[in-house]
Amino acid sequence: MTRTIKPEQLRTVQVVPITAFDGQGELNLEAMQILTRRLFDAGMRCFIPCAGSAEFHNLADEEIVASIGMTREVVTEEAVLVVPVGFQVDKALRLGEQAIDAGADSALVMPLSFPYLSDTGARDYYLRLLDGLSCPVMLYKKEAIPSDELLLELADHPNLIGVKYAINDIDAFNRIVRDDGGRIEWFCGNAERFAPFFFLAGATGYTSGAGNVCPRVTLAMHAALASGQWDEALRLQRILLPIEEFRARAASAFNISFLKHAITHTGLDFGQPKLPNARLTDAEKHEIDQIMGPILAAEQELAESEVARV
């Protein structure tokens, strides 16, 4: 099966729904289904299950495929569904094709996790995936390799639809978007904390973990950015910043742990993050509890305004 999507379908909040585990550490698809339905009903239309904030590195291929299948059942054909792939190239190809059969529209090639890297080897790796996957592909830049020069070279490939750019160098991002000349899409890979500045330089969407607990707030922020309402976008960003600032502590050690605890404030239990992700102390949990109050109030206000408009 060959999948196709339009670039504009990615010009939105690309939410990474977190992964639920039961008490035995097994996938809890029932809880994930409830969350996916909530996010869809709130307006999310681009989903990247099982990516970094959803514990990609701790998931077996069959768990990723099951998550993709569940998500497709919930969102039907009304949303774009992206599967993360990575590690050995043949493994990435197999997972990608299995996920496509389960309903994925596109693939996100996760950051290269090999100890010895070069642009030459990265080029060959990416080309194998771009040539071999029967769906549009996004690349994820989080380190020096792939270089910006390599990304611009690969932008000519007909199967490359965009890049998730997660290096916080706005000058470099501005230059690569300019030099690309509109061939592919460019997205902020570091979520709401940096999205306004990436949008000024040409980003059209961003990935989000915070959207798991406040989807309407981040969607409203994206809408403000997309329409150039910078004051409103920054007002909404300030609501979300406590989430992102906590998750960024200690070299982003709390990226997943924060969301696993925060989701309990919405009535869901997603279990503990798998090792080696950090476990929260009681004091850290209490701090998250305090952070979530105003954010959930803002989310509820937006939900109520939607009902009032109807």
pLDDT per position as a tens digit, 29-51? 999 999 999 999 999 999 999 99
Distances (CA, A) of 10 to 4, 81, 126, 290: 12, 10, 20, 33
Q: Is residue 4 part of a domain?
A: no
HSE value, Cβ hemisphere, 13 Å, CA-based, for 95: 28
Q: Is residue 121 part of a domain?
A: yes
> Which residues of the chain have a pLDDT value below 70?
1, 310
Q: Is residue 51 part of a domain?
A: yes
d(CA 167, CA 141): 7
Q: Is residue 1 part of a domain?
A: no
Q: Is residue 3 part of a domain?
A: no
Looking up residue 99, the CATH number of its domain turns out to be 3.20.20.70
Q: Is residue 23 part of a domain?
A: yes
Structural domains in the chain (count): 1
Q: Is residue 2 part of a domain?
A: no
pLDDT for the residue 15? 98
Q: Is residue 310 part of a domain?
A: no
- Is the CB of residue 123 less than 8 Å from the CB of residue 154? yes
Domain membership of residue 249 as a residue range: 9-305
The set of residues, in sequence order, having a beta carbon less than 8 Å from that of 76 and lying 6+ positions away, is none
Pairing of strands 205-208, 185-188: parallel
Tokens representing 179 are 């030099």
pLDDT for the residue 1? 60
d(CA 255, CA 248): 6
